[in-house]
């Protein structure tokens, strides 16, 4: 959280969301072991924490998810399950309070 705050770039937090979720999808898509917690669960929990503590805004999370939808076909080349994984992240983010249910 401190590192995100120290960036002093709240207008750029959507890129953090986009990159974080993409990396989580790539990790979960290539991970053949059962570690118990998926990377998507972890990243959703992180963004929930950041939004609840007013470090990242809900608007920036929404904007990051919107940008992921725009590049989903490219991500799907590397992670065939990307569309369902993005849906899963959105559900987790809504449940965690970092993405409104109207988003």
To the nearest whole number, what is the mean pLDDT of the chain? 89
pLDDT of residue 32: 55
The pairs formed by 46-50 with CB atoms below 8 angstroms and a separation of 24 or more are 46/20, 47/17, 47/20, 47/93, 47/96, 47/98, 48/93, 48/96, 48/97, 48/98, 49/1, 50/1, 50/4, 50/98
Region 76-100 average pLDDT: 93
pLDDT, one tens digit per residue, over 49-80 is: 999 999 999 999 999 999 999 999 999 999 99
pLDDT of residue 70: 96
Please work out, in degrees rounded to the nearest 5, the angle formed at the alpha carbon of residue 13 by the alpha carbons of 21 and 52: 85
Asked if residues 17 and 59 have their Cβ atoms less than 8 Å apart, the reply is: no
51 versus 29: the higher-pLDDT residue is: 51
């Amino acid at each position: 959280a401190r590192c995100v705050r120290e960036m002093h770039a709240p207008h750029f937090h959507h890129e953090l969301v986009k990159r974080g979720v993409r990396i989580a999808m790539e990790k979960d898509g290539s991970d053949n072991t059962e570690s118990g917690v998926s990377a998507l669960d972890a990243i959703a929990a992180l963004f929930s924490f950041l939004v609840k503590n007013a470090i990242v805004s809900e608007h920036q999370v929404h904007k990051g998810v919107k940008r992921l939808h725009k590049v989903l076909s490219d991500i799907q080349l590397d992670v065939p399950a990307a569309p369902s994984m993005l849906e899963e992240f959105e559900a987790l983010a809504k449940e965690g309070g970092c993405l409104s249910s109207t988003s």
